[in-house]
Amino acid sequence: MSAGGFRMADVSGKPVTRRRALASGKIMVGREAFQHLEQGTLPKGDALGLAEIAGLQAAKQTPSLIPLCHPISLNRVSVRTVLHAHEQAVEVLCLAEIAERTGVEMEALTGASVALLTIWDLVKPINPALEITATQLLYKSGGKTDEWTNPAGLHPEARKLLDEH
């Protein structure tokens, strides 16, 4: 073991199971930027579409970004952006799925986080006073815990994304 005591968890004895994880987060963008997002008129282009692509790419790159994260072969990643006019915010949902010996939570969280950062990058010319908030795991299934849902529950858009897959 290294001086820091770091080691990758040994998952070789675990059974391969279908595992899913759903993560979410929000970015508060303000009135003017929200209007540009709704209308697709940001100076750098379609922030929501690009954020979804960035989230997909990020989920696939998770093992190269987070030390000790197992390299896994994702079966599916879905990223969805949801506009919340009353909060002037964009919520990002990222669902990741595998059939493996280890979970897929970090991939879902990484996908959601990078999608949020992509929105930040594209919105900052309109409003640099942005805030990313509420990044969290909403749901996971597979493995020894079988199924777990965040104690706050799943809102309709999150439930819909889970039910589609």
List active site positions: 121
Tell me which H or E stretch contains 83. Answer: strand 76-84
Distances (CA, A) of 103 to 20, 115, 141, 143: 8, 21, 8, 7
Q: Return phi, psi of residue 161, to 5°.
A: -65, -40
Strand order across the 76-84 sheet: 76-84, 89-100, 17-28, 131-141, 147-149
What sign does the dihedral 119-122-126-130 (CA atoms) show? positive
Nearest to 137 by CA among 111, 163, 115, 164: 111
Beta bridge partners of 98: 19
